[in-house]
Amino acid sequence: MKASLEQIGEGDVKVESGFHSIYASKSESTRYNKLSASEQVMEAVKRLLEFFKGRGEEVSLTVTGHSLGGALALLNAYEAASSLPDLDHISVISFGAPRVGNIAFRDKMNEMGVKILRVVVKQDIVPKLPGIICNKILRQIHALTRRLKWVYRHVGSELKLDMSLSPYLKREFDLLGFHNLEIYLHLTDGYVGKRLKFRWNARRDLALVNKSSDMLIEELRIPECWYQVPNKGLVFNSHGRWVKPCRDQQDIPSPFGEAPKLDFTA
């Protein structure tokens, strides 16, 4: 699969345009929050950094996310490392995150000292995207492939989990199930080491695996997709009627607009 890379910052650093648009877009026409995701999170980080540095403390930033959230976590870490030199440590822990940028993006993250742990499930296809699936082979011809706009590189260290090691999971093919966050947390909880058996005393509740999937073996007798919002989200108002509640202001999404070019060198 191919996607479009666009330049951010200086040099050859490029990231997937769709991820960058989600992170940096904002719309002046919206009735709600007119700030981009980048502006919102960086405002909070700067406020906390100023507060704790003012107390003479060492400040670290850890960003985490699953799937698209993992991609946005990388972009946030890149921006923070580029623009906030007072941060002592920056790290990212992602679950099932796709590739985000090119080789120059990976090299820049390493140069800035951002520590990244990518947790991936062997059977999950999302961490193999975007770009071509044979990216690992192309590392051998780095000088040629770095010029191709559809070549992506992962960043950081990888912790690979295998669904076949859990005795509680079905052996069925389920693309959505492979990518489910609860599967990631279940396998992480049972992980001991490479090629070692699933931890027998794992503590995470097994029922959570089937919260929004059907991945547990039938012998456990846990219903599939068991989680439901009480009363399907309706609330009983003062007039004796069941209605949909008003959303909190901060929970109302803003529409996408044109993604501004962020200055990561400021």
> Could you give the residue numbers annotated as active site?
67, 124, 179
Q: Locate 176 and state its tokens.
A: 């959505």
Short-list 248, 133, 15, CA closest to 7? 15
Angle at 209 between CA 65 and CA 228, to 5 degrees: 90
Secondary structure letter of residue 215 according to DSSP: -
* Count of Cβ atoms closer than 10 Å to residue 238 Cβ: 5
CA 242 from chain centre, in angstroms, equals 36
From the number of C-beta atoms within 10 Å of its C-beta (0-12, 13-18, 19+), residue 25 rates as middle
Radius of gyration of the chain (CA): 21
- Number of Cβ within 10 Å of residue 117's Cβ equals 14
- Output the six-digit token pair for 249: 């202001």
Closest-CA residue to 16 (of 81, 94, 87, 78): 78
How many other C-beta atoms are found inside a 10 Å radius of the C-beta of residue 185?
16
Distance separating alpha carbons of residues 90 and 112, to the nearest angstrom: 9
Which residues touch 244 (CB under 8 Å, ≥6 apart)? 233, 234, 235
